[in-house]
Amino acid sequence: DPTGEPEGLLHRVDEGYGLGELGTARINATLLSLVRNEEVVGMVQAMRDLERTWNHKFNYPWTFFNDVPFSEEFKQKTQAETKAVCNYELIPAEHWDVPSWIDDDLFEESARILKENDIQYGAMKSYHQMCRWNSGLFYKHPALEHTQFYWRVEPKVHFFCDVDYDVFRYMADHNKTYGFTINLYDAPASIPTLWPETMKFLAQHPKHLHENNAMNWLKDSTRRPEHNIKANGYSTCHFWSNFEIANLDFWRSQPYEEYFNHLDRAGGFFYERWGDAPVHSIAVGLFEDASKVHWFRDIGYQHIPYFNCPNSPKCKGCVMGQFTDGEAWLRKEDCRPNWFKYVGMG
């Protein structure tokens, strides 16, 4: 091992030398990206940021997923960005294909309506497949069978702040289920029946509702009443899931499995444009203890056009407190104050 200690020690742990003597060894977790071969440049850029600010200190493995095989170029260029192990995984067709009960003609008709409502990617079938996979399939991939925590990373995102502790260990030690940086309102026309379907599900499975749920956050109608009306009772405020640090046990739990199956059968991943962000957020908000959700205020992050930029000398390259570098109206899309109002700073 050319890198010396402590990486050398950690490396030996991977080879089965036993964890006993190493209290600070990595826990069972991976960085996770669904990505296309054509996005290799953006992926390398995102990796470079996260390796520089965090992962070079911990060397958590990367796991890349794709619906087609990864190219040699993609593998070489991404592996060159990290000392950590990189895994390249193909998504099984039965996890990616449009389910048999989805009607092609109805999908085409729905795509037309989504387009009329200016819903981005509404007519792009693969985008619907991606949202469905991120909602209810990714954690069923055999490559994650023995993994407990993941940090989702998209191509082209930025990380700005040095983070000196193991965030996965933080999640485990503090018994956290879900970590986020940004909360946003969604386009109501992408999810008109998501909340009604959720209420139907809840009526059939009242025991799944956690006693310390975040229902009040989900139902807020004070700041964006028109969103709540158009989304039929849901504020549309959600954790922006292109950043997501979470415990896979939650997605694998019976409440979530039953909820996803209900939504999947209802068809809204295709007949509407349900995103994995509102689906994950509603599930976490209803079925999990709200105190198990953590805001990573210290992780400087950008996915165009929004930032989470902390007030800290550890951050370089983003403007402290700035939420967007886009048009002024975008500032209204931030709904973190709602989370803090109903649930707290966590």
Report the interface residues with Mn ion, using CB under 5 A.
Answer: 154, 242
- Binding partner selected for residue 338 from Mn ion, ligand GDP, none, CB under the kind-specific 5 to 8 Å limit: none
Task: Let me know: does 345 contact 295? Beta carbons within 8 Å.
Answer: yes
Q: Among 40, 102, 130, 144, which residue sits at the site for ligand GDP (rule: CB under 6 A)?
A: 130
Amino acid at 300: G
What is the footprint of ligand GDP within residues 208-247 (CB under 6 A)?
A: 242
As a whole number of angstroms, the distance between CA 39 and CA 111 comes to 25
Clarify whether 244 is annotated catalytic: yes
Q: Give the one entry of Mn ion, ligand GDP, none that residue 66 binds, where binding means its C-beta sits below a cut-off of 5 to 8 angstroms depending on kind.
A: ligand GDP
Q: What type of residue is 195? A: W
Nearest-angstrom CA–CA distance, 333 and 346:
21
Q: Give me the amino acid identity at 188.
A: P
Comparing CB distances to ligand GDP, the nearer of 34 and 218 is 34
Q: Which one of 32-40, 70-78, 102-110, 312-320 is the stretch in contact with ligand GDP (CB under 6 A)?
A: 32-40
List 126, 175, 254, 261, residue binding ligand GDP (CB under 6 A) = 126
Closest CA to 143 of 62, 219, 197, 224: 62
DSSP string, 80-103: TT-SS-EEEEEPPHHHHSPPTTS-
Between 66 and 85, how does the x/- string for binding to ligand GDP read (CB under 6 A)? xx------------------
35's contact among ligand GDP, Mn ion, none, with CB below 5 to 8 A by partner kind, is ligand GDP
* Choices 106-114, 125-133, 245-253, 286-294; region in contact with ligand GDP by CB under 6 A: 125-133
* 40 binds ligand GDP, rule: CB under 6 A: no
Residue nearest Mn ion, CB atom distance: 154
Q: Which helix (H) or strand (E) holds 94?
A: helix 93-96
Binds ligand GDP by CB under 6 A, chosen from 12, 36, 75, 341:
36
Q: What sign has the CA pseudo-torsion 273, 234, 218, 304?
A: positive
Q: Is the peptide bond before 278 cis (omega within 30 degrees of 0)?
A: no
Q: Which of 244, 272, 288, 333 is catalytic?
A: 244
Distances (CA, A) of 124 to 33, 39, 273: 20, 17, 10
Residues whose CB is less than 8 angstroms from the CB of residue 100 and which lie 6 or more positions away in sequence, other chains included: none
| Distance in angstroms (rounded) separating the CA atoms of residues 66 and 270 | 20
Q: Which is nearer to Mn ion, 89 or 154 (CB)?
A: 154
CB of 278 to ligand GDP, least distance (A): 12
Rounded (5°) CA angle 227-230-233: 80
Q: Shortest approach of Mn ion to residue 242 CB, angstroms? A: 5
- Which of ligand GDP, Mn ion, none does 155 bind, CB closer than 5 to 8 A by kind? ligand GDP
Where in the sequence numbering do the catalytic residues fall?
A: 244
Binding stretches for ligand GDP (CB under 6 A):
34-36, 39, 66-67, 126-127, 130, 154-155, 242
